[in-house]
Structure 1
Amino acid sequence: MSRSERSPLLLAGLLAAAGVAHFAAPRTFDAIVPSALPGSRRAWTYGSGAVELALAAGIAAPRTRAAAAKAAAAFFVGVFPANVQMAVDWRHRPAPLRTAALARLPLQLPLVLWARAVARAEEGRP
């Protein structure tokens, strides 16, 4: 299996793992849902987990890969405020936790670019 064939499956695996984590340990994710969002934090946690699982399935299937990868790029942009909220909320936590929260912020860009690259590769564009 070539690198270009592995990339979508790795992205799908990452999204699937994150989606499962939202259901397995929802409290962790509830805590980073921005308070400005309407409704319950748990609903947002489960909703985003379900979206991640759906995106993973879409990226894993060649027929829906391009569209799902584009949607994943948009999703990664959309969840950025939760990562900002986490960094703000964790600013007084012990250094390792604070560092982990801050490290999530710049990681969103590579995820967006990776999803875009998967979509482009599937569409036959460089």
Structure 2
Amino acid sequence: MNDFEYFGKLVEQAREEKGWSQQRLADEVDVDVRTVKKLESGTGNPPMEVVLKYIFLLNISPAMLFNHDPCEAGLKLDHIYRELIPFSQEQIKLLSDSALHLRRWNDNHPDVETFEDYCRVVGEINAQFPQNNS
């Protein structure tokens, strides 16, 4: 997907999540509805001032738009970004730390595929650190 298609998909996804019609978005951005349709189809190329309106009105992540390769993962991350907005910084950090921990675990234990595998690996890890029963 090219950059124009990606931006169009970001706008469409965020607009739908907000429950807005294309006409409502056009009214909010102060453009013709055909402009929104063209953008969402991946053929629009709005000026930066208009791009910034979309970002602001729809809570599109600038990082996902400008610093991420245009792909399905970026669309998913942008969706998650909007879901995180209501949470506090501490809650987002807790979630991020938990996700990073799980990512490291999975990267370091690619052979763990079942619950039994997990129990075996945890048992091996616990055996390396005997309990001090003083």
TM over 0.5: no
Could you say which structure has the larger radius of gyration?
A: 2
Q: Which has the higher helix share?
A: 1
Shorter-chain TM range is under 0.3
Bigger relative contact order, structure 1 or 2 (CA pairs below 8 A, ≥6 apart): 1
TM-score (norm 1): 0.28
